[in-house]
A = this chain, B = another copy of it.
């Protein structure tokens, strides 16, 4: 059993720095595209055997130290009562705009509403059979609320900000419900066998640190406190949060995810040496020639300066046009250059 990833999550010494890539199962891999050509994106998420197949692909191809369940952060929002489609970006037919809309939302029962996710986890634990640990995941309440209110991606997220500022009662009621959903959903993933949980707050960084602390932190804190994490470390990733890591830290969790806009050494100093970190190579570096990839991997390992509690990753999802062999070379560099 390769326990390197979990040991690093707990801040314990490891023989080399573990590495995985956000969105490592995805469009940049021809073997993923082959599966994807036979079904829609949502069908892939909802078919446990297929989801398990594409989850394992990058483990074999890249040689990473963890698998992450193939799914989408919006999957559990659909059984809350919002009709979801991908065109290819996510679109909700009936976004949340009023208290009446919030009242209509239901908290799904993961076992009956999202059985395909739990089934995929069980298949994966069997098929991985201890090869590498399996990470489950969910969107942070704020990021899910962003999509639920806007109905789709946005450049300026003015809809959610307008609600947050002008209708705080509606905003809070929505965030409460999403937090409860998330708690049920992620605990079900843990029960099904997920060995770590990553919480993705892709849009937490669109707020000022003061507004993040006022409008987001209470909900993420409540969520993390509500997870059964005795044996399951929680990675909390807020994209664009390099300027407010001490605030993000307050949410709890075992590992703080870092995007590439911050020097990793600076981040560790801001967080304190007790907090494990995950990151933080610019996904764009995977377009570079091998010597630059190696230089940048080395820079980040140097910035970490041999401290325990570092999981190597990109600072955001791998880009769809990256050559797969560059990703594999990056993984090889991390292992080679970090060998104790």
Contacts and interface: CB of A to CB of B under 8 A. Distances in A.
Interface of A: 156-158, 161-162, 165-166, 205-211, 240, 242-244, 260-263, 266, 280, 282-285, 287-289, 292, 296, 299, 315, 319, 321
* Chain B CB within 10 Å, residue with most, of A209, A266, A283, A296: A209
Contacts of A161: 282, 284-285, 287-288
Contacts of A287: 158, 161-162, 165-166
Given A158-B319, A299-B210, A321-B158, A240 B263 contact: no
B288 A261 contact: no
Nearest to A206: B284
Copies in the complex: 2
Majority DSSP secondary structure for residues of A touching B: helix
Nearest to A165: B288
B288 A210 contact: no
Contact of A261 (B243, B260, B315): B243
A189 to B, nearest CB: 29
A88 to B, nearest CB: 13
Given A156-B283, A282-B211, A319-B158, A165 B292 contact: yes
B243 A166 contact: no
B243 A208 contact: no
Contact of A262 (B243, B283, B321): B243
Contacts of A266: 243
B261 A205 contact: yes
Contact of A157 (B209, B211, B284, B315): B284
Given A161-B287, A165-B288, A261 B240 contact: yes
Contacts of A263: 208-210, 243-244
A156 B205 CA distance: 17
Contacts of A207: 282
A317 to B, nearest CB: 10
Contacts of A296: 208, 210
